[in-house]
Structure 1
Amino acid sequence: MAGMSHVPLDSLHQDFATLSAIESAIVSAGGGIDSFTEMVTGLFRQAFDEVIDAPRTNRFTLGEIEKTEKTYIGTKVEILLRNFLKMPKGKILDLAVNGIEVDIKMTTARDWMIPRESIGRPAILMKANERTALCDVGLVVCRPEYLRLSNNQDKKGQIAAAQYVHIWWILRNQPYPKNFWEVLPVVERRAIMEAGTGKWRLAALFERIQGQPISRSQVEAIGQQDDYMKRLRKNGGARDILGPKHIAILWGSKDRDLIERFGLGPVTSREFVSYHAVDPDDITLLRARDHID
């Protein structure tokens, strides 16, 4: 399902001027909408993978992490987004966009929780669903009339679904890199993680999961090496194991022409995908590019 980009508010909306300026600033800081989309969707994957931390915790999906860790995902996303945009933290809220204080609210549930200090101020709304691998990024001014206030002690509010008409969507139902562990049978999972050291685990991963993009952060986690790219290459890496089997590991950043030729896309610059060559022309081409033996 393709995502919808840029669903702005009507120019007559009371929040149009405020949100238009913020949207323009953050998309521009992200290098334009295509670069912004690729980086933000990769950012969700990175945040989840780092909190799940599969190789060191033997957990593989969001459903397996502790409740306290789920609250940290929002902080992790906030830190990664600020770093990506190269924008400073605000004095009160999470981000300063051209001097405007903006909150960053992340959820993996249905609704965003808005704290008291954010009421009346603009916020970047971020949502990701690990089962569908779809995400949303929007902007809203957290006006009291848009919120359903809770009776809890912290007096947090929720943006009522009926008030979503006041959100300026930058990304809506946008696919982001999947967590392949979500759909992988336990027997396959075990075979990968018990394959041995980093290069053997990566070889098992790319031999068993072919034609499906796998994020850089997942490769890094499974490789468990400072230089995880070394664990993919020749001379000591997974390539030594997979090359003779005519299985190539292609990188979205360097091998776009091959990925298109083999119909493996879309694969972002932060993802890898494996391909088992059977056709003689494919084998010749991949051998010439030093991807297989």
Structure 2
Amino acid sequence: MTDLTEDPSRGVHDTELELVAAHLASLDHDGQRFADVLRATLDQLLDGRRNGRYEYQKLHKTEKTHMGTLVEINLHREFEFDDGDVTDYRIAGVEVDCKFSQRIGGWEMGPEMVGHLCLVVTASDQNSSWRAGLVRATEMHLRSVQNRDAKRRLNEAGVAAIRWLWPEHGKLAENLLLHLDPETCKRIMNAEGRNQRHGQARIFQLFREVRVQGIILRRTIIETVGHGLDDPMKRARGNGGARDALRPDGILVLGHQDNDPLVARALGLPVPKKGELVAARVTPAPAIPDERPTAEVNGTYWVVARSEDEPIAAPVIPRKRAEGNL
């Protein structure tokens, strides 16, 4: 039986809700795992590697409807919740149903959910934001109006009663293509090459764009830009990929392996993790040092180039991790 007792300072105290909230916090102390699941789910739905899509609003209606199911499944897998009897999960021994909506208040609860706890989740790719909370679907929290499936949404009191989880962690990893200015995005996605497949030409153009340089590029971005290629990430690396092809233009493409993280850190760039890349145009360090961080590569010194610096071939980064100086 649910323990709902009156607390003058907080209204109704829900022991099961607090128990579930505490358990989720123990599994994910800052919400990063939860945020990663939502980011991966959006990327899964967009499926950019196969079709180059990166805009949620351009998905078909049936695909958008499937988002809630994917969120439920992927959270289940990530956190290994037990199955519920009536609800999706059993968390800390408590039945909890998962509800997803693109907007706060858009969750729909069926009649079988009345009295149960709901994990309400929302995420916006456009705003790079997400939130998750717990609320009990009581008659006091639900609208009287129902849709043709007898489902009801939270009323104002229900939304106000949500116990938000990880309130300080509402940032979703950015969908870079969605937030680039239209002209930059058009140059990237329309790039064509004479001697390479168009997917490879698009990847090369991605790294050439000043707006993109110095920003961590997730695997999904590379795969979306290089859609149609068997192995888009390979086209971003050496052996004929972007790393070799763009070096004459002074552009370094750095990953998470070998000496790349050392060079990225020395240049003051964000350091890529596994499955991430960062690009930057570099130039020899000036004779009179300025404020730019300097990286030493094979006895030569390099800084991130400014727009006025003439293009010069970038150094070859040793592939094997070096001890001390590169």
Q: Give me the TM-score of the superposition, normalised by structure 2.
A: 0.71
Aligned to 1:165: 160
Identity %: 27
Aligned to 2:44: 50
Q: CA offsets per residue over residues 56-88 of structure 1, 9 Å max, x none? A: 335331111111111111111112111111224
- Bigger helix share: 1
Aligned to 1:220: 223
In the alignment, the residues of structure 2 paired with residue 10 and residue 201 of structure 1 have an alpha-carbon distance, to the nearest angstrom, of 61
Q: CA offsets per residue over residues 199-231 of structure 1, 9 Å max, x none? A: 443332233222333333333343456655433
Q: CA offsets per residue over residues 240-274 of structure 1, 9 Å max, x none? A: 22334343344579977766655555977665433
1:239 maps onto 2:243 in alignment: yes
Q: Which of 120, 126, 129 is matched with 1:125 structurally?
A: 120
In the alignment, the residues of structure 2 paired with residue 99 and residue 91 of structure 1 have an alpha-carbon distance, to the nearest angstrom, of 11
- Point out the structure with max Rg over C-alpha: 2
1:125–1:252 CA distance, 2 compared to 1 (3 A): farther
Aligned to 1:5: none
Read off the aligned partner of 2:128 and give its amino acid letter.
A
Any stretches of 5+ residues in structure 2 without a counterpart?
1-6, 286-293, 303-314, 320-326
Any stretches of 5+ residues in structure 1 without a counterpart?
1-8
Q: Which of 280, 293, 299 is matched with 1:275 structurally?
A: 280
Give the secondary-structure state (helix, strand or coil) at the position aligned to 2:42. Answer: helix
In the alignment, the residues of structure 1 paired with residue 118 and residue 257 of structure 2 have an alpha-carbon distance, to the nearest angstrom, of 32
Give the secondary-structure state (helix, strand or coil) at the position aligned to 1:149. Answer: coil
In the alignment, the residues of structure 1 paired with residue 144 and residue 264 of structure 2 have an alpha-carbon distance, to the nearest angstrom, of 49
Q: Which of 230, 235, 243 is matched with 2:234 structurally?
A: 230
In the alignment, the residues of structure 1 paired with residue 276 and residue 11 of structure 2 have an alpha-carbon distance, to the nearest angstrom, of 39
- Comparing 59-68 with 259-268, greater Cα deviation is found at 259-268
1:105–1:213 CA distance, 2 compared to 1 (3 A): farther
1:24 maps onto 2:29 in alignment: no
Aligned to 1:154: 149
Aligned to 2:57: 63
1:201 maps onto 2:199 in alignment: no
In the alignment, the residues of structure 2 paired with residue 20 and residue 257 of structure 1 have an alpha-carbon distance, to the nearest angstrom, of 44
Q: CA offsets per residue over residues 6-65 of structure 1, 9 Å max, x none? A: xxx999663442122212323333xx423xx22322222222222222353353311111
Aligned to 2:3: none
Contact 2:213 2:280 in 1 (8 A): yes
In the alignment, the residues of structure 1 paired with residue 109 and residue 264 of structure 2 have an alpha-carbon distance, to the nearest angstrom, of 42
Give the secondary-structure state (helix, strand or coil) at the position aligned to 1:77. Answer: helix
Give the secondary-structure state (helix, strand or coil) at the position aligned to 2:170. Answer: strand
In the alignment, the residues of structure 1 paired with residue 19 and residue 230 of structure 2 have an alpha-carbon distance, to the nearest angstrom, of 40
Q: Give me the TM-score of the superposition, normalised by structure 1.
A: 0.78
